Amino acid sequence: MSLNRLQKIISESGLLSRRKADLLIKQGKVTLNGRRAILGEKADPLSDHILIDGKDLPKKLNHKVFLLNKPYGFISSCNDNHGRKTILSLIPSHLRHGMHPVGRLDFDSRGAILLTNNGDLTLRLTHPKYSHTKTYLVWLSGQPSQSILDNWRRGILLDGKITRPARIDVLDKVNRKTLIKVILKEGRNRQIRRIATLIGHPVQDLQRISISNINLNGLQEGKWRELKKKEWISIIN
């Protein structure tokens, strides 16, 4: 018998992320052997009967991870009630089942984003405690001073909490704008754009070029590729 926490079993099925599994368990939408499941309890996916919203939990999927170079004008979602283009639409329809984006990129941002059916990978890359880096190339309006950038590096008050230290390198200055490389270990909502506006140098263009050890490496905008297991397995080990 192999026992694991329910939320881990659910995430490994590819149906939901671990965080969403936690929520469904709390809401009473998960049953274990005919009774309401309890958050934190363990089960054996081979012998125990697990239902999600009254439906059998899918058998464990072969984990897949796609790297997509998101273009401007797509939302980081599986679907949209307002009819906007989603990043999932850039993947062939027969490969979309069970896939979800890992984190987000703004509608008006572009670059590296992952899609997967692996709940553990999603958790590791989105939960702050794991501190995986994300790297961005950002064009700012104007030319921020060294002191302004130093303040950003140390941390900026955002939503009542100081941001974690960031690495910021100035790469170019041209025509009243500045290109910087930003490396973060957190990902608050529109964090770079909001900070840039606060310091008086709004973002003109934002591109994410890497997530942890996974880089675009010449992948064209709007294109995707499936990652080999050796490219992502170290993230969850």
In whole angstroms, give the CA distance from residue 152 to residue 145: 11
In whole angstroms, give the CA distance from residue 212 to residue 197: 26
The residue among 57 and 71 whose pLDDT is bigger is: 71
Whether residues 194 and 224 share a domain: the answer is no
Give catalytic status of residue 106 as yes or no. yes
Assess whether pLDDT exceeds 60 at residue 43: yes
Whether residues 150 and 199 share a domain: the answer is yes
Section 51-61 average pLDDT: 78
Assess whether pLDDT exceeds 90 at residue 120: no
Whether residues 150 and 191 share a domain: the answer is yes
**Per-residue pLDDT, 216:** 96
Whether residues 123 and 189 share a domain: the answer is no
**Phi, psi (degrees; rounded to nearest 5) at 87:** -65, -25
Q: Residue 184 belongs to a domain with what CATH number?
A: 3.30.70.1560
In whole angstroms, give the CA distance from residue 51 to residue 35: 10
Lowest mean pLDDT among 45-49, 100-104, 137-141, 176-180: 45-49
**Per-residue pLDDT, 14:** 67
Whether residues 12 and 107 share a domain: the answer is no
Section 2-7 average pLDDT: 79
Range of the domain at 79: 65-128+214-236
Whether residues 201 and 227 share a domain: the answer is no
The 3-class secondary structure across the chain, one letter per residue, is: CCCEEHHHHHHHCCCCCHHHHHHHHHCCCEEECCEECCCCCEECCCCCCEEECCEECCCCCCCCEEEEEECCCCECCCCCCCCCCEHHHHCCHHHCCCCEEECCCCCCCEEEEEEECCHHHHHHHHCHHHCCCEEEEEEEECCCCHHHHHHHHHCCEECCEECCCCEEEEEEEECCEEEEEEEECCCCCCHHHHHHHHCCCCEEEEEEEEECCEECCCCCCCCEEECCHHHHHHHHC
Cβ–Cβ under 8 Å, residues 15 and 52: yes
Whether residues 204 and 224 share a domain: the answer is no
Whether residues 39 and 142 share a domain: the answer is no
Whether residues 106 and 120 share a domain: the answer is yes
**Per-residue pLDDT, 146:** 96
Segment 148-170, tens digit of pLDDT? 999 999 999 999 999 999 999 99
% of the chain with per-residue pLDDT over 70: 97
Q: In the predicted model, what is the mean pLDDT of the chain?
A: 90
Q: Residue 80 belongs to a domain with what CATH number?
A: 3.30.70.580
**Per-residue pLDDT, 7:** 85
Domains of the chain: total = 3
pTM, 2 dp: 0.77
Q: In a 10 Å sphere around its CB, with 0-12 CB exposed, 13-18 middle and 19+ buried, how is residue 142 labelled? A: middle
The residue among 148 and 39 whose pLDDT is bigger is: 148
Whether residues 78 and 148 share a domain: the answer is no
- Residue matched to tokens 């992948």: 219
Q: Residue 36 belongs to a domain with what CATH number?
A: 3.10.290.10
**Per-residue pLDDT, 59:** 65
The CA dihedral of 153, 159, 162, 166, to the nearest 10 degrees, is -30
Whether residues 207 and 138 share a domain: the answer is yes
Whether residues 145 and 105 share a domain: the answer is no
One-letter amino acid of 188: R
Lowest mean pLDDT among 150-154, 162-166, 178-182, 229-233: 229-233
**Per-residue pLDDT, 57:** 80
Which of 106, 120, 159, 169 does the annotation list as catalytic?
106
Assess whether pLDDT exceeds 80 at residue 1: no
**Per-residue confidence band for 61, with pLDDT thresholds at 50, 70 and 90:** low
**Of 198, 213, 115, which Cα lies nearest the Cα of 151?**
198
Distances (CA, A) of 164 to 134, 153, 159, 234: 13, 8, 13, 24
